[in-house]
Chain A
Amino acid sequence: MPEKNIVEMHNIVKKFGAVVALKGVDFYVRENEIVGLVGDNGAGKSTLVKILFGIHASDEGEIIIKGKKYKRLTPKKAYELGIVLIHQERTLCENHPIWRNVFMGRELTNRFGFLKIKEMKELAYKSLAALELTKMPVDTPVKYLSGGYKQGVQISRAFTFEADLVILDEPTVALSLAEVQKVLDYVRELKRKGKSAIFISHNIYHVYPVVDRFVILNRGEVVAEFYKKDLTPEDLSEIMISIARTGKVPKEYEELNLYKKASPQSAS
């Protein structure tokens, strides 16, 4: 098990007016680790990763990426630090070809800002090929692609920019069963290529097959952390239901709960 943390978030507090969305969350991702971030609606999963990607600013707390501290990130900065965010169809421009979507916001240009189109097409092809997404040419507009293929296009950004951390925010929502399997394959590919990922989902059966560790959020707080190897999907399901009802992990699983027992800071 690799021990170095690629990302650490300490004591993250986020308020939206009177609503406290995150109440001092500690969170970390290790190198080449896939973390499943799960929890009920409104638990703060999306808010947490949006702070990590710089879309929201946290009110308190700090972020450490590859050993450097940050108070406030921007999407641009996050990109530069090797973080890619993948949303349910939200970071694609439907009318534009695959290659433009891969490079969206991070175009290869010359000194004067003119696009290096041929280079971008070639690089896009290469990173799509890493995911076996070569069925359609790179100048196909994204609107012609299925939901799973679109997620693949977004994930291929991670290969194009040699990102180290890919955040997948509900990437399997509204996908057919076969397409969910495709997305899970892409995540496995990330793992195989030495990258890390945060996988957010409501559906633990989508997350379970690919993750190394689960972090369970409830009402803006981390309540539990488990290694996947310690649990079956049924165990996890039971824990989630208990947390939704009582806010607590059932006693018989407390033994396995990593949270607070092993402080995340000590891992680095």
Chain B
Amino acid sequence: MAEIYKMHGIKKILYEFKLQFVITIIFLLIWLAFYLLNPPAFSNPFTYTSIMGVVPFTIIPAISLTLVIIAGEIDLSFASVMALGPLVMALTWQAFGEPTPLGILLGLLAGLGAGLLNGILITKLGIPSLIATIGTLFLWRGVVLVVTEGFSIPLGEFRNTLIYSIFVGRVFGIPVQFFWAIVLAIIFWIILNRHKFGAYIYYIGDNRTAARMVGINVDRVLITVYAIHGMVAAFAGILDSLEMATFWPALGDIYMLKSIASVVIGGTPVTGGVGTIYGTFLGGMILGFIEMGVLASGVSGFWIRLVHGVVIIIALAAQGIIRKGELAKIRIMRLLTT
């Protein structure tokens, strides 16, 4: 047993990344199951491009949410920030009468501001993140509803512009937003694993007292994480409103639980300290495949939630079993290293 961390090559990788390995297996099994249920649909490229068109709206906010959860915190308000960002953009575009990049920039800044507010409430005022972000969840949704009076803002007239193609166009039939999701996943993977800032996020989630004692400015790191998350959520909302060519006041609502589910399916425990972007990405893909698969297999759409629920529970159960095995291993290893 003491030899575990003397393993090399594939064996070691499999051991170290067993959670990710399990998620990958679950993903492949789901894929296989849907393929067997409806081979024509799942051999048709259109099915995949459809999935790629919608999963980014779940995956993108889930990627930055992974950072928040690794730091041992939570955010619910991003669902409303996903509406705040595109609202600011839509209003700017309306005012200018053209799809100016300034609108995107202001939309992202609105998200950044919302994130900063969360960070300050949580660190400087010491409000637990669950409570603080319930507050801002209502606040920003309220702002959106008051400003729009519940009406949508059509964006169809801006459809055939460059800015559209950059964010939600199609390259070889593949929706550009999917590339955005991949690019963001890579950037955030690098931040988490290769940059000092990512290391601090892990340490803060793992042992906050220790992080403070070694001189890490915990408040500043947390505020930055929330600010980034706010901006990324606004970006996801902007992508969604562009894809649908309309801004609607309820935008983002449905992604809150889906994004959180992506993170937890992906093996990032809400207790913080550990977690991977890879897992989150795959978690989002699993949810997307289920949605498309259930629809393609011809049963009623009401089944989607049920299958989501079953898969989330299976994924969590698998993780629970792995972690239990880990605890036994820890006990033995500790004895062996005395």
Contacts and interface: CB of A to CB of B under 8 A. Distances in A.
A90 B5 contact: no
B209 interface: yes
Interface stretch (B111-119, B149-157, B195-203, B225-233): B195-203
A113 B197 contact: yes
B334 A93 contact: no
B contact patch SS: helix
A95 B274 contact: yes
Q: How large is the interface on B (under 10, 10 to 19, 20 to 34, 35 or more residues)?
A: 20 to 34
B196 to A, nearest CB: 5
Contacts of A114: 194-196
Interface string B306-332: 000000000000000000000001100
Q: How large is the interface on A (under 10, 10 to 19, 20 to 34, 35 or more residues)?
A: 35 or more
A75 to B, nearest CB: 4
A92 B210 contact: yes
A139 B210 contact: no
A176 B202 contact: no
Contacts of A90: 207, 209-210, 213
A96 B273 CA distance: 9
Interface string A137-166: 101100111111100000000000000000
B195 A113 contact: yes
Interface stretch (A7-15, A99-107, A220-228): A99-107
A199 interface: no
Contacts of A75: 212-215
Contacts, number: 102
Nearest to A104: B214
A115 B210 CA distance: 20
B333 A145 contact: yes
B273 A93 contact: yes
A55 B214 CA distance: 10
A144 B210 contact: no
Contacts of A149: 337-338
Contacts of A55: 212-213
B203 A146 contact: no
Interface string A71-102: 00011101100000101001111111000100
B206 interface: yes
A179 interface: yes
Given A93-B202, A93-B203, A139-B5, A144 B214 contact: no
Given A95-B274, A143-B330, A144-B334, A104 B195 contact: no
Interface of B: 2, 4-6, 194-197, 199, 202-203, 206-207, 209-216, 273-274, 329-330, 333-335, 337-338
